[in-house]
Structure 1
Amino acid sequence: MTELLPNYAAGRWQHGTGPGTALRDPVLGTALVRVDAAGLDLAEAFAFARDTGGAALRAATYRERAAMLMAVVKVLQSHRDSYYEIATANAGTVKNDSAVDIDGAIFTLGQYARWGDALGDVRALRDGGAVKLGKETVFQSQHLQVPRQGVALFINAFNFPAWGLWEKAAPALLSGMPVIVKPATATAWLTQRMVQDVVDAGVLPVGALSVIAGSSAGLMDQLQPFDVVSFTGSAETAGVIRGHPAVAQRSVRANIEADSLNSALLLPGEAPGSEAFHLLVREVVREMTVKSGQKCTAIRRILVPAEVYDAAAEAIGAKLAGITVGNPRNDSVRMGSLVSRAQLASAREGLATLLAHATVLYDGRNQPLVDADPAVAACMGPVLLGARDADAAQPVHDVEVFGPVATLLPYRDSAHAIALAQRGQGSLVTSLYGNDEAALAHTALAVAASHGRVHVVTPDVAQAHSGHGNVMPMSQHGGPGRAGGGAELGGLRALDFYHQRSAVQASPAVLAALGVPDLA
């Protein structure tokens, strides 16, 4: 029988008491390890994190906690090769896709360590300047940000087992909040191993970081008023979390990242063969195939002027034809597998829904797999769909296929293009492609209210831009409406979720004695 991975809770490693769930290689189908959380004393785990881990973190200054983050960076860097091996085996990703997850996580941690060091040796942050409360200056109000005295529960998605943990844990730990992470079962091995390496290295206070790899049953029940929960996953599960008594009655702070039908928009006037046209095609193919399209920020809808629809279909299809799919251990493979056969079935089901309202422009489903058995491997070649009547094809604006699938949609004019982008009912990101700075700026402002991030690509940034789907810690990650209404990262803005804002009303002398810096 395969190894049963231990959970780390209440300051000690613990095995679940059940048989566990096997994690499998999505290409070879072999069982790798098992995870189980049955029988854990969750009340003890949460209380220990709050009382022991939280107290130790809050006793440190921001600069001292930043040093802890940098120590975590060094631990992860020292084990980096083993993380790549786990990602290949458990997530079916090629090396470049594993880097997005693993190296992206390490980069984000390092960035927050540097930002935190600049905050200095203080334990609270000033939020804005003091303002007088009357005609005289003798009595003023000063807003502060102080660490919340609770625990941060992360319920994470399967697609980013490394980055999904650390992009949330970095600002939480820097803020002084202990973390309990519940990774998605299918790819929990990498998250569990990273936590194990950090715990064994002793670079964080005991109780500051815990992992529960198994069922999420009972976790929400443990949340108390000063705790926070951050969830990444389906809109259906997000609804359950929002309706849970912890959130609905105890006012636990909740951050949600859910479904997102992101778009890429080629501005009017960009003819086939133009640089902007080429940049759109390149980015669409990249976003369809990186991590086999299993990214919450991936391009799902491609909006182009009606007159270039056929040329765009041909150009995107030609590049997709060069994508080899199969076993990521083979160096010739460009795209690995989905994370499981269950996820493959889900992607196929979503694709079938879209096919009732769209036509296939490029079909990679029947191409031969490299070193992989199609009866076993969770592999799926990229599929480009098209709908000439973008208004009538409602499901393409409603259904997110979490795999290598995108739909090409023509628009009549700028107003129509903006309206189609907004049909996503709230998205994480849209990207704009063109040369006209004024038109790009106008469009960016028009779509900003329905998107968490607007990524503008012009020929002069062709080699410099960070990518439509690449989430950088300097920019906000999140989006309104369907995307969940949450917000992560965005530099030090991320700390706000883990702090309590409080107004201290006092004399200038007392306010000066607080001795806290601005939250820049």
Structure 2
Amino acid sequence: MKLANYVYGQWVEGSGEGAALFDPVSGEQLVSVSSDGIDLARAFSFARDSAGPALRVLGYEARAGLLGAIADVLAAKRSDYYEISLKNSGAGEGDAAFDVDGAIFTLKTYARAGRALGPARLLREGKAVPLAKTDAFQGQHFLAPLTGVAVFINAFNFPAWGLWEKAAPALLAGVPVVVKPATPTAWLTQRMVEDVVAAGILPPGAISIVCGSARDLLDHVQACDLVSFTGSAETAARIRNHPKVVANAVRVNVEADSLNSAILGPDAVPGSGEFDLAVKEIVREMTIKAGQKCTAIRRVLAPAAIAPALAEAVAAKLAGMKVGNPRSEGVRVGPLVSKAQQAAAEEGLALLRKDARVVFGGGEGFAPVDADPAASAFVQPTLLYCDKGLAAQYVHDVEVFGPVATVLPYADTPEAIALARRGGGSLVASAYSADAAFLGDLVPAIADLHGRVMVVDSAIGSQHTGHGNVMPTCLHGGPGRAGGGEELGGLRALAAYHRRYVVQGGPALLEALARDAADAALLGG
């Protein structure tokens, strides 16, 4: 079966055999995708000229209602999406829930939040400012929705959430979406779009999907469009430097590589609540979705006196987790999504081993449960220990996108800060400590290179939302090597899909223009 593309308000099958999608456990071919023959220029024009105006005439509150309706459709089809996740991503129920239920929850969150903006179709930013000696001439800042399209080039690890965490604020802003999902796991994204289109919720062209090669996708972007990319820093650089992107000054939002850290404070000694919480979270981040999360813990920083015991505790937990076919009883860790990703992870692991010794895993003698190692794409959860600190050659630069983490001992707080910053910019760091002095030094010192800092102590316990769990009400993104982008953060996300401008004129005119505008201050709420 070949998956169709939804463009210019109709389903169109790409020409040729297309690229095959596989079951990462059995190696069985499932479906194929092709974008060959699709008129992308027409797809962009249809979305801009037909769907965009149809969305923007509704206003924010009405568009929030559309998001709620989409969430209801997806919730009703939840079991179908779990089955596709199992087949195409090797995701067990817990891993599928992280993706599918996370997508539905995000849509519902934006549906609720968007109602606060009311029926307005633009935003007023602040008060009018005087520009003359009297009030006769003033300036008023506004935010208006972009009149172009939001182009999403997404990663393979979250085919459900990766679409809807971007699409929810874009559609709420009144901007139509064109999504190009990563080919290896495009099936789930395509099915969700198919179900939403069939439900007739959105104006035709408000959401389009192109499966397979991106081809000339970026050749058609214009000044009022936005490109949002999740993936490698190398590909992000090509997108940013694309001639059309540069010539038209197209907005680009990027989420790229990230060597996220878990940092234990000096008080997180074995037997303490903070130590136990750190062990639990490190293991969870290594094994959920087989470590295939942009926010997963890659480096674990611990005081030198604590680090060996921490590594032993994490290794002991990993030893009790079955790795293999998620259809089999007791299996806790599934495969990577493809043989290509398996090869990339093994290549990266080989580099890390030049800096570090293996504490657990490493692949020797590893055999997945109920799966053929030759056909499947498993990587054994692997914990390493590196005592080279800042002198390490690969640990701070190579992200292994799989169930792999490295423990690094530090001598004092300044070294912990330096190690965390050596990652060059990350999506998230989590600290496990109740030491106010340590946290008072650490958090401000790493904040400018981290999009999110999560602090956990025994008083919080298990109530925290998780190191790697992205909440729609909080910022997702990171500086430097993490891409420099920002997503989510509640209604703050709408700012990316609006253009700020100022109108200068008389007070009566400005009052008339602002009469039906919502207060932009709501975006920070």
1:517 maps to a residue whose letter is: A
- Structure 2 regions of 5+ residues with no counterpart? none
Superposition RMSD on alpha carbons, in Å?
1.0
Aligned residue number for residue 470 of structure 2 = 471
Q: Deviations over 1:22-61 (max 9, x none)?
A: 1000001101111000011111111001111111111111
Amino acid at match of 2:193: V
The equivalent residue for 1:461 is 460
> Matches of 2:377 and 2:80 in 1, distance apart?
23
Partner in structure 2 of residue 195 of structure 1: 193
Q: State the distance in 1 between where 2:432 and 2:222 align.
A: 46
Partner of 1:494: 493
Amino acid aligned to 2:519: D
**Alpha-carbon shift at residue 333 of structure 1 (Å):** 0.6
What is the rounded CA distance, in whole Å, between the counterparts of 2:134 and 2:360 in structure 1? 71
Is the counterpart of residue 236 in structure 1 residue 237 in structure 2? no
Match of 2:82, SS state, is helix
Residue 409 of structure 1 corresponds to 408
Q: Which runs of 5+ in 1 are unaligned?
A: none
Q: How does 1:301-380 map to 2 (within 5 A)?
A: 301-363=299-361, 365=363, 366-380=365-379
Contact 1:321/1:364 (<8 A) preserved:
no
Give SS of 1:479's match. coil
| TM-score (structure 2 length as normaliser) | 0.97
**Partner SS, residue 463 of structure 2:** coil
**1:40-439 to 2 correspondences below 5 Å:** 40-363=38-361, 365=363, 366-439=365-438
Q: Report the alpha carbon displacement of residue 276 of structure 1 after superposing the two structures with TM.
A: 0.7
CA distance in 2, matches of 1:285, 1:136: 65
Q: Deviations over 1:375-433 (max 9, x none)?
A: 11111110001111212212100000000001000001001000100000011000011
Name the SS of the counterpart of 1:193 in structure 2.
Answer: helix
Q: Which letter does structure 2 place at the counterpart of 1:300?
A: R
Task: Give the residue type in structure 2 aligned to 1:11.
Answer: G
**Amino acid of the structure 2 residue aligned with 1:423:** R
2:27 aligned partner: 29
Q: Is the 8 A contact 1:22 1:33 kept in 2?
A: yes
Compare 6-15 and 131-140 and name the one that shifted more.
131-140
1:438, distance to aligned residue in structure 2 (A): 4.0
Runs of 4+ off more than 6 Å:
none
CA distance in 2, matches of 1:99, 1:260: 23
CA deviations over 1:94-144 (Å, ceiling 9, x no partner): 111111100000000011111111100010011222222234333222211
Q: Percent identity?
A: 59
For 2:506, the equivalent position in structure 1 comes to: 507
The residue identity in structure 1 corresponding to 2:427 is L
**Equivalents in 2 of 1:321, 1:236: separation in Å?**
35
Distance, in Å, in 2 between the alignment partners of 1:331 and 1:208 is: 42
The 3-state SS of whatever aligns with 2:305 is: helix
* Cα distance per residue 1:191-225 (max 9 Å; x no partner): 00000000010000111000001101100111111
Letter in 2 for 1:447: I
Instruction: Give the Cα separation in 1 of the matches to 2:222 and 2:444.
Output: 39
TM-score normalised to structure 1 length:
0.98
Q: What is the CA-CA distance between 1:372 and the residue it aligns to?
A: 1.0
In 1, the alpha carbon distance for the partners of 2:412 and 2:104 equals: 43
Q: CA deviation at 1:245?
A: 1.1
Task: Give the distance between the partners of 1:186 and 1:60, measured in 2 at CA.
Answer: 36
Deviation at 1:67, TM superposition (A): 0.6
Give yes or no for contact 1:27–1:337 (8 Å, CA) kept in 2: yes
Give the whole-Å Cα distance in 2 for the aligned partners of 1:114 and 1:126: 21
Q: Which moved more, 1:338-347 or 1:362-371?
A: 362-371
Distance in 1, matches of 2:273 and 2:291, equals: 24
AA in 2 matched with 1:477: H
Report how far residue 507 of structure 1 moved. 2.7
Contact 2:285-2:291 at 8 Å conserved across structures: yes
